[in-house]
Each structure stands twice: as C-alpha cells, then as structure tokens.
Chain A
Amino acid sequence: MRKLKWIIILIFLTCITTNTEARIYLDIYGKTFKKITIGVPSFKSETIDRLRADMSELLNKDLDMSGFFIVAPGSLLDRELSDEGIEKQEIKFGNWRSIGIELLCKGKFQQKDGEIMLEAYLYDTIDGSLMLAKRYRAKSEEWRKIVHRLADDIVLTVTGEKGIMSSRIVFVAGGRSQKEIYTADLDGHNTKRLTNFRSITVLPSVSPNGKYLAYTSYKEGKPNLFIMDLEKNREIHIERGEGMKFGTTWIGKATLGFSHTSGRYSSIYTFDIEKSDKRLILSKEGIYTSPSFSPDGTKMVFVSDIYGTPQIFMQDLPSGNIKRLTYYGNYNTSPCFSPKGDLIAFVSSIEGSFEICVMNADGSNQRVLTNGGINDSPQFSPCGRYIIYSSKRGGRYNIYIMLYNGEGKRMLKFVEGDEEQPKFIP
C-alpha cells in the first residue's frame, strides 16, 4: 500500500516536470535549433494611428533580432487575416496555420493623457492556446520601451529566458585621439554621451549593481583608471600609478578586477569600491592582463605572454594553480566568462584575421564564430545567449551582436564614426 502511494507521487512529480519542460518551445542550448515562425499583424487602436504600424514593425524587428524567430512578412497577411479581431474566439487559427505561422501575437493599444497602454496576446496556432496575455503601460513617447518589453516577454515564454531587447549598452565612439563613452538602448535609440574629456577614453564597463562605471582615460596626460559613481556623476576612485591600467571585469556587485603593467611587472588586482579594499591577486614579470572572473568568483582567466605569444590561462583562485587554456595559434586574447561560467569567449588570430571564438571553461571545444576582419572585445549578454563585440572591416569599427553559437550576426548603429568596446549595462 505504501509502495503504491510512493509510485503515485512519483508519477505525479514526473508529470509536473515534463509539463514545465513542455512549456519551453525552444531549447536554445542545443547545438542547433529550429526557428519558430511568428506572425505579428498590425496592432489595433480606436484611432487611426501611425503607431499601429510602427509598433508591430518594431516588435517584428526585435523578434527577428532575437535570433529565435522567423518573422512572417507583412505581405503574407491578406486583409482577412489583418482585420481579424484579437480575442481567441475571433481568430481562425486554421488560416494562420495554413500560411505556416506557428505563433501569433496580437495587440491593441490606446492613448490617453500622454500615456500609452498596450494589451498583447500570444497564441499557439496549433491548438489556439493562449501563451501570454499582458498589459503594458508607459508614457506615449516611450512606446518603444513597451514594445521591447513585450518582445522580451515573448522570448521568455518561448525559450524560458528573458530577451535582451530592453537592455542598454555602454561603448566607445569617436575618431583618432578623441574617444568618448556613450550609453544607448540596444535598438540604437536614447544615445547619451557620458564623458566629454576631449581625450582618449577607453574600455568602459558598468558594475553588476549598475552603480559604477570604470574606464581608462588619457585626460590627465597618462592613462589612468577611473571609477565613476553614475548616480552622483562623480569620480570616486582613480588609479594614478605609472604605466598602463585598465579593468573591465567585475566580481560580486561592486568589485572591479583590473590589471596594471609598469616596468617589468604586471599585476592583477581586485578593488571593492564600497569597502575601498584593494587586493593583489597576481604579480609577475612579463605581461599578465585582461582578467575575467567566473560568476562564482573562484576562477580567473587572463592573458599572458610567458610562452612568447599572448595565450589565455586560468587560475584557480583558492589554490592559486594556473593552467594554460589555449594552444592553437600564436595570438589568443580578451577572454570573457559567460554569466553561467560554462563558456569563455575570446579573440584568436586565425590566418591573418582576428576572430571571436568560444571555448568551454576548461579550454576544450574551441570554435570560431566570426569570419574575417579584426574582431575584438567580446562580451556575453547578462542572459548568456548573445555575444556583443566590435568588428573592424576596412577602416571602420562597428558594434555587432550575435547568438552565442555565432548565428544571427547583425550590426548595431548608434552614432557617427567608429563605435567599439561594447558592454551590456547590467
């Protein structure tokens, strides 16, 4: 009798787990995945509004950029399909299925007192089940934000993890001898210049709690490392020692990892901003630079030239043991841990070009994701599914984003001139 009870509980449990798994439509961590075809007819509103087309167009763009969807072109939708209502009972799912659409996103919005309210539904056309129903509200001029939020929610529904369309990034733009730091929405809007030093300012990164910005600037003549409090808009820590200093990696909420090369030695430090606590992690003769820490803070990857060419090494921090990770080629730099700690993105010189590559955290399974040019500064998105990087082809640096497997590359454009060294703002 007791045994039977357990079996029933067990069966019950497996049902639950398979159920939750079934909710995720795409396993994006598999080697390859099939993209889902999604249809987004123009949103409805009581007034004739340019926004009707603009919003659905932006949603299509976002979904396309996510890399998980094939977006049905507007030309595919005849009048009957586009005039159809948004409620489940009004929709003829068979019609949508017949043109190959698997998911259908419908919405209506209204504008009142300078506010916009969007009501959106996501249906599975196979059985007409409602997968997502949500209401969004924002100031009218910030309509792009709610579309991005909807896109992120659709990606969450389908893949089990939130999309990145609402993200902001920090980057460097400008010409020779004058480079400033900017922030912008991932879609290229809302660009803001953070610095105006009229000098060379490079390698910005924002702390995981979003409060601090680290960068290296030549504004005082030599390259000093600055940490700025973004809320108070003021520099709170400056490394002014001789030589080269920069840091783009963070541990915990507000601890910056940075490297310092001066004289014969290179050192890697961590600096806890809130406790003003600086610690030396490693100091050796030669080049030791570009640290990146695993999310749990137990491992550090870095670049060193101890064997003659720049290669990537990993140090186990509790034991201090160092292991070499890259053996292919004579130039492997810019390592960056994924947020889950399972992958490391890096730059490798392959047949004259510099490519973005990824490898497992133990150095195995190295694969090349880009093809040609000078690619640099790879960084994973906070969800770990995308890599943002800069790429120079011909004379110009531009910022690109791709899925972590190299699919779906696209250029992001923010301001005039060169744009490089992108990082997500957590």
Chain B
Amino acid sequence: MKYFIILITVIFIFCGCTPKVVKLEQPGATGKEGPAFEKGEKEGGVTEEELARSRRERERLMLEEMKKSLLKDIHFDFDSYTIQADELPRLKEMGSWLKNDKDIRITIEGHCDERGSIEYNLVLGQKRAETVKDHLVKLGVDKKRIKTISYGKELLLDPGHTEEAWAKNRRAHFKVD
C-alpha cells in the first residue's frame, strides 16, 4: 500500500501538480488508502485558477523538456552549411513538434568557430541558420514562424582553440521567441 501511495504521489508530481497542492492532501492521504487521496483532492478545494496554473506549469515543464531534448544545437563541419545525416532525425522530431504546437515561433541562430575571416563567417552563419530553416519548412513548418540570424564568430560558446571547442562553436542554436 505504501508503494501505491508513493506511486500516486509520483504521478501527481509528474503531472505537474504544485507541491503546495500535494501538501494539502497529505493529511487525507496518511489515513488509509487510495480513495482518501481522491477525497482529499476534492476537500482541498482546488479552484479553477489553481487548475489553470497547474496546467500552465505543466505546459511550461513540457516545453522546457522539449527544448532540452529537441532544441539542442545542430552542429556543422568546418566551412560547411550542409546538415549532417545524424542530425536529421532530431530535425524531423522538431518539425513535428512545431507543426503540432502552432503558437510557437523560433529563431535559429547561425554560429561559426573562431577560424577564418569575420566577413565570411558572418555569411556562413547566415547560411547555416537558413539551411536548418529550409529543412524545417520542407517538413511542413510555416516559414513565417521561423526567423534566422547570424552571429558569425562573434558569440563563441567555447573560447578554446582546440578541435573540440571549434566543433562546439559551429552550430545552429534555437531560441523560442
């Protein structure tokens, strides 16, 4: 039974209920078993407002989760703006997410590593951002929802001078507007 309570609590937390709400129910839950939990929920008097808040919170967490897993940087080879094959599944996933959630608008930033000339890198960054945008548009995302901007080599993620740092810097970075 103990496990059951824990399980329910976990489910609650997972669903994005605020800890405050859970706390309210605790006295009821300590009674005996599951139904008391539901009862507690009713007794706790969850208002519409609270429900809306918890929904918003859930959405926020989901978005953050999406951002973490989906909106990770897309990396490029030196002096290249073609998308590497292993990045394609992630872009596909991102595309379907963007298609589902029509309110989201994103900006794609194109970045380069410290090598090469400033002028060429500013253009290369633009091309990187545009290529990723093109790909998402091809997957069915409305192109009006995607903005592009290039920072060339002006905003290095890693200021190092190693192969590893350079690879980290050659990226298309996503921002939710």
Q: A179-B154, A263-B130, A264-B130 are in contact. Are A244 and B120 (CB under 8 A)?
A: no
CA of A177 to CA of B79, assembled, Å: 22
Instruction: List A320-360 residues whose CB lies under 8 Å from chain B.
Output: 330-331, 333-334, 347, 349, 354
Given contacts A244-B150, A354-B116, list 8 more A-B pairs with CB under 8 A.
A244-B122, A244-B126, A262-B126, A264-B134, A290-B120, A354-B115, A394-B161, A420-B118
- Say yes or no: B149 contacts A222, CB within 8 Å: yes
Residues of A within 8 A of B130 (CB): 243, 262-264
- Number of interface residues, chain A, beta carbon within 8 A: 43
7 A-B pairs closest in CB distance: A244-B126, A333-B117, A333-B120, A334-B117, A289-B123, A290-B119, A376-B117
Residues of B within 8 A of A421 (CB): 118
Contact with A along B13-53 (1 / 0, CB 8 A): 00000000000000000000000000000000000000000
Cβ of A60 under 8 Å from chain B: no
Cβ of A213 under 8 Å from chain B: no
- Say yes or no: B115 contacts A303, CB within 8 Å: no
Residues of B within 8 A of A262 (CB): 126, 130
The distance from the CB of A226 to the nearest CB of chain B, in whole angstroms, is 15
Cβ of A266 under 8 Å from chain B: yes
- Say yes or no: A289 contacts B120, CB within 8 Å: yes
CA of A266 to CA of B124, assembled, Å: 11
Cβ of A86 under 8 Å from chain B: no
The distance from the CB of B78 to the nearest CB of chain A, in whole angstroms, is 9
Instruction: List A22-69 residues whose CB lies under 8 Å from chain B.
Output: none
26 A-B pairs whose Cβ atoms sit less than 8 Å apart in the complex: A177-B154, A203-B119, A218-B151, A221-B149, A222-B149, A243-B150, A246-B119, A246-B122, A261-B126, A261-B127, A262-B126, A263-B130, A264-B130, A264-B134, A287-B120, A289-B119, A290-B117, A290-B119, A303-B119, A310-B120, A330-B79, A331-B116, A334-B117, A347-B116, A354-B117, A377-B119
Cβ of A114 under 8 Å from chain B: no
Instruction: List B81-114 residues whose CB lies under 8 Å from chain A.
Output: 114
Q: Interface of B with A (CB < 8 Å)?
A: 79, 114-120, 122-127, 130, 134, 148-151, 154-156, 159, 161
Contact with B along A203-226 (1 / 0, CB 8 A): 100000000000010100111000
Residues of B within 8 A of A310 (CB): 79, 120
Cβ of A374 under 8 Å from chain B: yes
CA of A218 to CA of B107, assembled, Å: 15
The distance from the CB of B164 to the nearest CB of chain A, in whole angstroms, is 15
Residues of B within 8 A of A179 (CB): 154
CA of A373 to CA of B130, assembled, Å: 30
- Say yes or no: A176 contacts B127, CB within 8 Å: no
Contact of A309 among B79, B122, B155 (CB under 8 A): B79
Q: A222-B149, A244-B150, A262-B126 are in contact. Are A177 and B155 (CB under 8 A)?
A: yes
The distance from the CB of B135 to the nearest CB of chain A, in whole angstroms, is 13
The distance from the CB of B3 to the nearest CB of chain A, in whole angstroms, is 51
- Say yes or no: B123 contacts A266, CB within 8 Å: yes
Instruction: List A354-396 residues whose CB lies under 8 Å from chain B.
Output: 354, 374, 376-377, 392, 394-395
Cβ of A125 under 8 Å from chain B: no
Instruction: List A247-296 residues whose CB lies under 8 Å from chain B.
Output: 248, 259, 261-264, 266, 287, 289-290
Instruction: Identify which of B114, B122, B155, B159 gathers the most chain A CB atoms within 10 Å of its CB.
Output: B122
CA of A420 to CA of B118, assembled, Å: 10
Cβ of A200 under 8 Å from chain B: yes
Instruction: List A223-255 residues whose CB lies under 8 Å from chain B.
Output: 223, 242-244, 246, 248
The distance from the CB of A374 to the nearest CB of chain B, in whole angstroms, is 6
CA of A263 to CA of B131, assembled, Å: 9
The distance from the CB of B120 to the nearest CB of chain A, in whole angstroms, is 4
- Say yes or no: B127 contacts A333, CB within 8 Å: no
Instruction: List A390-419 residues whose CB lies under 8 Å from chain B.
Output: 392, 394-395
Cβ of A151 under 8 Å from chain B: no
Instruction: Identify which of A243, A244, A246, A334 gathers the most chain B CB atoms within 10 Å of its CB.
Output: A244
Cβ of A146 under 8 Å from chain B: no
Residues of B within 8 A of A259 (CB): 123
Cβ of A202 under 8 Å from chain B: yes
- Say yes or no: B148 contacts A377, CB within 8 Å: no
- Say yes or no: B122 contacts A347, CB within 8 Å: no
CA of A290 to CA of B118, assembled, Å: 10
Instruction: List A63-99 residues whose CB lies under 8 Å from chain B.
Output: none
The distance from the CB of B131 to the nearest CB of chain A, in whole angstroms, is 9
Residues of A within 8 A of B149 (CB): 221-223
Residues of B within 8 A of A303 (CB): 119-120
CA of A248 to CA of B117, assembled, Å: 14
CA of A246 to CA of B152, assembled, Å: 12
- Say yes or no: B127 contacts A287, CB within 8 Å: yes
Q: A176-B155, A309-B79 are in contact. Are A334 and B124 (CB under 8 A)?
A: no
